Amino acid sequence: MRRYFLFIILISLFTVQVSEAQKRKMERAYSSFTAGEYYDAIDLFKDAYSKARKSDKNTKTELVFMIAECYRLVNDPKDAETWYKMAVKSAFSKPEAQYWLAETIKKNGKYQMAIDEFRKYKQIAPSDSRADQEIRSCELALEWLKAPESYKVDEMKDLNSKADDFSPAFGRDDFGLLYFTSSRDDAQGKKTHGATGQNYTDIFESRLDKKSKWSIPVPVEGLNTVFEDGTPSFSSNYKELYFTRCESGKRERKGCTIMFSKKTGDKWSDPKSLQILPDSMVAAHPAISPDGRTLYFVSDIPGGFGKKDIWKVTNESGSWSKPVNLGPDINTPGDELFPYVREDGTLYFSSDGLIGMGGLDIFKAKLQPDGSWLVQNMKPPINSFADDFGIAFENGNERGIFSSTRKGKENDDLFSFELPPLRFNVTGLVKDEKTGAPIQGSLVRLIASDGNNLQAETGTGGDFKFALKPAVDYIFLSSKKGYLNGKDKQTTKGQDKSRDFMVSILMTPIDRPIELPNILYDFGKWDLRPESMVSLDKLVETLLDNDNVTIELMSHTDSRDTEEYNQTLSQKRAQVVVDYLISKGIDPERLLAKGYGESVPKVVDAPMAAQNPFLKMGTTLSEQYINSLANDEQREIAHQINRRTEFKVLRTDFVAPKK
Of the residues 84, 119, 146, the one at which a domain ends = 146
Shared domain check, 428 and 413: no
79: in domain: yes
Assess whether 452 and 582 both reside in one domain.
Answer: no
C-alpha closest to that of 337 among 382, 378, 286: 286
Domain boundary among 418, 440, 465: 418
How confident is residue 24, by pLDDT bands cut at 50, 70 and 90?
confident
Rounded Cα–Cα distance for residues 498 and 36 (Å)? 47
What residues contact residue 197 under an 8 Å CB cut-off, 6+ apart?
A: 39, 40, 74
For the residues 625-642, what does the mean pLDDT come to?
A: 92
**Which of 146, 180, 195 corresponds to the end of one domain?**
146
Based on the fold, state whether residues 124 and 193 are members of the same structural domain. no
Domain containing 574 equals: 514-651
Which letter does DSSP use for residue 17 in this model? H
- Per-residue pLDDT for 284 more than 50? yes
Q: Are 574 and 600 in contact (CB under 8 A)?
A: no
Instruction: Judge if 483 and 391 occupy the same domain.
Output: no
* 388 and 434 belong to one structural domain: no
Cis peptide before 217 (omega within 30 of 0): no
Confirm if 29 and 48 have CB atoms less than 8 A apart: yes
**349 and 227 in a common domain:** yes
| pLDDT tens-place string over residues 557-592 | 999 889 999 999 999 999 999 999 999 999 999 999
Which of 291, 288, 304 shows the shortest CA–CA distance to 339?
Answer: 288
Q: What's the pLDDT score for residue 281?
A: 84
Say if CB 655 and CB 637 are below 8 A apart.
no
Q: Please indicate, yes or no, if residue 166 is contained in any of the structural domains.
A: yes
Looking at 7-11, 56-60, 394-398, 654-658, which range is the least confident one? 7-11
386 lies in the same domain as 472: no
CA-nearest of 363, 357, 389 to 141 is 357
DSSP H/E element including 281: none
Could you give the number of structural domains in the chain? 4
Contact, 320 vs 293, CB < 8 A? no
Among 48-52, 412-416, 424-428, name the one with the lowest average pLDDT: 48-52
Q: What is the pLDDT of residues 176-219, one digit of tens each?
A: 999 999 999 888 866 777 767 788 899 999 999 989 999 999 99
- Give yes or no: residues 289 and 177 share one domain: yes
Q: Return the CATH number at 404.
A: 2.120.10.30
3 in a domain, yes or no?
A: no
CA distance 522 to 140: 53
Q: How confident is the model at residue 407 (pLDDT cuts 50, 70, 90)?
A: confident
Edge-to-edge, what's the strand order for the sheet holding 294-299? 284-288, 294-299, 309-314, 324-325
Nearest to 181 by CA among 209, 200, 197, 154: 200
Collapsed DSSP state (helix, strand, coil) of residue 306: coil
Residues 468 and 482 in one domain: yes
pLDDT of res. 22: 62
Q: Residue 447 above 50 pLDDT?
A: yes
The CATH number given to whatever domain includes residue 619 is 3.30.1330.60
Is 555 found in the same domain as 524? yes
Same domain, 396 and 338: yes
- The pLDDT tens digits for 213-267 are 999 999 999 999 999 999 999 999 999 999 999 986 554 556 799 999 999 998 9
